[in-house]
């Protein structure tokens, strides 16, 4: 699945309910709050299995964020998280921490994710695609 070649569709509605995120990502179980968008990739008129996407900004309890820093070998990165509009206006300022291990922790089963931890140390920016 090549996300860069597929059009992202969705309602553009910002959501704040936690259950759809916490049920999909174990590391978000204790999340305090979230703002997120979702939709499908590709052309809805083409038959076949759908590929979905979620972009989320999630605030974690300090203990959960510290656990992520300790367990997933995050280091400062020069990459900036990318999320769909209007969520992009809510991305906190950098710098950001990231790691392949953190991406892998959010990329189980059919999920493929890119995750950044913001400089505030408690805010995760998650971008996932899945079938």
pLDDT of 14-31, one tens digit each? 999 999 999 999 999 999
CA distance 120 to 131: 32
pLDDT of 92-119, one tens digit each? 999 999 999 999 999 988 899 999 999 8
- pLDDT score at 2: 40
Euclidean distance between the first and the last CA atom of the chain, given in angstroms as a whole number: 9
CA distance 88 to 59: 15
pTM: 0.87
């Amino acid at each position: 699945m090549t996300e860069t070649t597929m059009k992202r569709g969705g309602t553009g509605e910002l959501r704040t309910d936690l259950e759809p995120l916490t049920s999909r990502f174990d590391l978000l179980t204790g999340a305090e709050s979230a703002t997120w968008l979702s939709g499908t990739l590709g052309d809805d008129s083409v038959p076949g299995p759908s590929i979905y996407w979620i972009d989320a900004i999630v605030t974690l309890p300090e203990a959960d964020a510290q656990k992520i820093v300790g367990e997933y070998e995050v280091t400062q990165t020069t990459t900036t998280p990318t999320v769909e509009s209007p969520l992009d206006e809510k991305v906190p300022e950098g710098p950001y921490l990231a790691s392949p291990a953190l991406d892998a922790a959010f990329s189980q089963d059919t999920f493929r994710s890119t995750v950044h931890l913001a400089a505030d140390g408690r805010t995760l920016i998650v971008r996932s695609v899945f079938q």
